[in-house]
Amino acid sequence: MHGDANASYSAARPPMSNPLLLDEMFSDAIAEQLRAKGHDVRAVVASPALVSLPDDQILSHAAATGRALVTANIKDFVPLDAQYRAAGRSHAGLILVSTKTFPQDRAYAGAIASALVGLLDKPGQIQGSQVLFLTRH
């Protein structure tokens, strides 16, 4: 019985959530908040090798490292997703952040972090090659 209880507990732990890469418009402070809650999250702005890369290379890096990409750059990444699909390529997921849902005010970073925690805390919410809009929590 102990083995079953432990297996069930470990399957529901946050560190088992999807790893994320936050695009350059998001601060590393958001990634730090999520890491403090046990999630595997990296920010483009915290990696000098990624900071000035074009969008297609950011998505390629996220795909190669198994990280879903979180971006507010909807106009550039939706067409990149379509190119991936047309070429039979896959990525680890694309999480789009709308400025209508998340206005860029003083509460922006906290609202994004909270919504991402809500998403990551529910297993199976992010599937490979899936594109979804982040919702408020």
pLDDT, tens digit (0-9, with 9 covering 90-100), for 42-74: 999 999 999 989 999 999 999 999 999 999 999
Question: For residue 93, what is the domain's CATH number?
Answer: 3.40.50
Long-range contacts (CB closer than 8 Å, 24 or more residues apart) made by 125-130: 125/18, 126/18, 126/68, 126/92, 126/93, 126/95, 127/93, 128/90, 128/91, 128/92, 128/93, 129/81, 129/84, 129/85, 129/90, 129/91, 129/92, 129/93, 130/93, 130/94
Burial of 103 (0-12, 13-18, 19+ CB in 10 A): exposed
Mean pLDDT to the nearest integer, 85-105:
94
**What are the tens digits of pLDDT across the range 7-32?**
333 333 334 468 999 999 999 999 99
Average pLDDT over all residues of the chain: 87
Q: What is the pLDDT of residue 8?
A: 35
Residue 11: the pLDDT is 37
Number of domains the chain contains: 1
The arithmetic mean of pLDDT across residues 79-91, rounded, is 95
Model confidence at 126, pLDDT cuts 50, 70, 90, reads confident
Closest CA to 27 of 39, 40, 42, 14: 42
pTM of the model: 0.86
Helix (H, G, I), strand (E, B) or coil at 94: strand
Task: Identify the domain containing residue 47 by its residue range.
Answer: 2-133
- List all residues 6 or more positions away from 73 whose beta carbon is below 8 Å from its beta carbon: 23, 25, 55
Q: What pLDDT is recorded for position 127? A: 87
